[in-house]
Structure 1
Amino acid sequence: MTVLTTAKAPGRPSGALPPAARRARRRGAALGLLAWVAGLLFCVPALWMLLTSLHSEPDAATSPPSLAAPLTLDGYRAFFGAEPWAPLLNSLMASVFSTLLVLLLALPAAYALSIRRVEKWTDVMFFFLSTKMLPVIAGLLPVYLFAKNSGLLDNIWLLVLLYTSMNLPIAVWMLQSFLADVPVSIIEAARVDGARLPTVLARVIAPVTAPGIAATALICTIFSWNEMLFARVLTGVRAETAPVFLTSFVTSQGLFLAQMCAASVVVSLPVLAAGFAAQDKLVQGLSLGAVK
């Protein structure tokens, strides 16, 4: 009977990696450690804000701040005692309704620019991009005069229209790149079966590009939720949003730092919750088209 033996490489212990593999492993470990350090640095401001929100106003105002200061929920009690429900509801309405309008308008536009391409579609894409080149504050006065003359000041639906127009170019650009990866064969098969454009968009394209649509919706929601310039100028009492409500903690008596940090934590929670809930869709959507 013949016994087969495996010859060992001369001068190399059993199970040892070659030098190139060891260098690649050390390089990967160093890059992983660097990524963790960078991630923790990005989290430091948020963690510091959370810690400050749990301090009393005198402890939060010390310089340098004291990490060993006693913890308290006074900042959160002051925030909820100021009745923030109306501003939070206004921000929710403006974000959700504007995002829905953006998706309803951007999906057919992206379809026309990626699958059923119109003539000079690159010029159309550049036009959408050029609308973001104008500084937002440059259009503040015309928008204010329009709102004043049309009686739309302090109206939440004006913010819905503004946020829709602000986020529409971004949504078209994102969805166009996602729809460009959709196989044309499945769309042609649906059209052969008699499906019209609304059916194709709702039952064929939307399920295939669900991660991209989710990523676009989440980004538009975040932009709408965090917008403050137009909301600060165009709203008063009825349509006040959550970012504008945060400025109420800066008074003539001073800056209530602990209360503002507590309010910032609460206002940030809906966006964080939406991000965690759609995390897998967001990662898939943002990575679509990255690997061909």
Structure 2
Amino acid sequence: MVLTSLHAEPDAATNPPAWGAPLTLDGYRAFFGAADGAAPWPPLLNSLTASTLSTALVLLLAVPAAYALSIRPVRKWTDVLFFFLSTKMLPAVAGLLPVYLIARNTGTLDTVWLLVVLYTSMNLPVAVWMMRSFLAEVPVEIIEAASIDGAALPTVLLRIVAPVAAPGIAATALISFIFSWNELLFARVLTGVVAGTAPVFLTGFVTSQGLFLAKVCAAAACVSLPVLVAGFAAQDKLVQGLSLGAVK
């Protein structure tokens, strides 16, 4: 993808690919608005805002829910977990029309806040399942010791559970951020000029006439870069989190 983005459109469209073709930055100039004046910064900022805020809300809701399902199990907790999982069984396109009608009637179409609510609700079930498996590995003894010392539930969550389960929280946050950043269907239908996201901006380079492969690859490389940077920065926590509880 990166190599194709550095080729001219005729060279990028050849089959088999012209690996030795001269390199150019025309695709990146088109992405950053040098060609038609359409700057990518508003869509990128919208994606960053929606992904960051929704990830923060997911963690804020998932950690206490996972605590209640693992360390302090509530009644019929298995039914609760199944309910969370069942919300992912409906294809996203099946819920698109009701969500659109609700957004239209509430006046939230083409707003970043609508995306924040949607991404939070979409990622919360997966986050609860992940965090429950992570918190199940937290030693109960240290939580009981903190309770004996008079620590309240918020103190236990912030000072005891969060540091111990930090790798799991980091892994959950990164996956939620990636899912939010890459979401296209709802952003394509429910946003327009104001709240369009980076994936929606990327699809604008696909045209019915002319060559566009190099520009699309350049746009895809730029849109993928924030997620790659976040994954690289958190790779140690991600590995620890995903492997937490794998070995008894």
Q: TM-score, normalized by length of structure 1?
A: 0.83
Deviation of the 1:255 alpha carbon? 4.5
Q: What per-residue deviation string (whole Å, max 9, x for no partner) do you get for residues 10-35 of structure 1?
A: xxxxxxxxxxxxxxxxxxxxxxxxxx
* Matched-pair contact (CA < 8 Å) for 1:249–1:255: no
Q: In the alignment, which residue of structure 2 is the partner of 1:121?
A: 77
Which residue does the alignment assign to 1:39?
Answer: none
Map 1:112-191 onto structure 2 (within 5 A): 112-191=68-147
Cα distance, 1:254 vs structure 2:
3.5
Structure 1 residue 69: deviation in Å?
Answer: 0.4
Structure 2 residue aligned with 1:289: 245
Please name the residue that 1:25 is paired with: none
One-letter code aligned to 2:176:
C
Q: What is the TM-score with the length of structure 2 in the denominator?
A: 0.97
- Measured in 1, the distance between the counterparts of 2:137 and 2:202 equals 42
Q: State the 1:251 CA deviation.
A: 2.3
Moved more, 254-263 or 143-152: 254-263
Kindly provide the CA deviation profile for residues 128-161 of structure 1, in whole angstroms up to 9, marking residues without a partner as x. Answer: 0111011011000000000001100000000000
Whether the 8 Å CA contact 2:9–2:211 is kept in 1: the answer is no
Distance 1:198 1:255 in 2: 56
Per-residue CA shift, 1:34-79, capped at 9, x if unaligned? xxxxxxxxxxxxxxx0110000011111122100100111111111
- Distance in 1 (CA, whole Å) between partners of 2:61 and 2:189 is 27
Answer yes or no: is the 8 Å Cα contact 2:10–2:211 preserved in 1: no
Give runs of ≥4 in structure 1 deviating > 4 Å.
Answer: none
**Two-structure CA RMSD over aligned residues (Å):** 0.7
Could you tell me how far 1:120 is from its partner in structure 2? Answer: 1.0
Bigger CA radius of gyration:
1
Q: Within the alignment, does 1:73 sit opposite 2:29 as a pair?
A: no
Q: How many Å apart are 1:252 and its aligned residue?
A: 3.7
Per the alignment, residue 258 of structure 1 pairs with: 214
Match of 2:201 among 245, 249, 268: 245
Q: Structure 1 CA distance, aligned partners of 2:90 and 2:152?
A: 37
278 and 217 in structure 1: CA distance in 2 versus 1, 3 angstrom threshold: same
Q: Aligned residues: percent identity? A: 80
Letter paired with 2:191: T
The separation in 1 between residues aligned to 2:115 and 2:91, in whole angstroms, is 18
* Number of residue-to-residue matches in the alignment: 244
RCO higher in structure (CA 8 A, sep ≥6): 2
- Residues in 2 aligned to 1:90 and 1:193: alpha-carbon distance in whole angstroms: 45
TM-superposed CA distance for 1:231, in Å, is 0.0
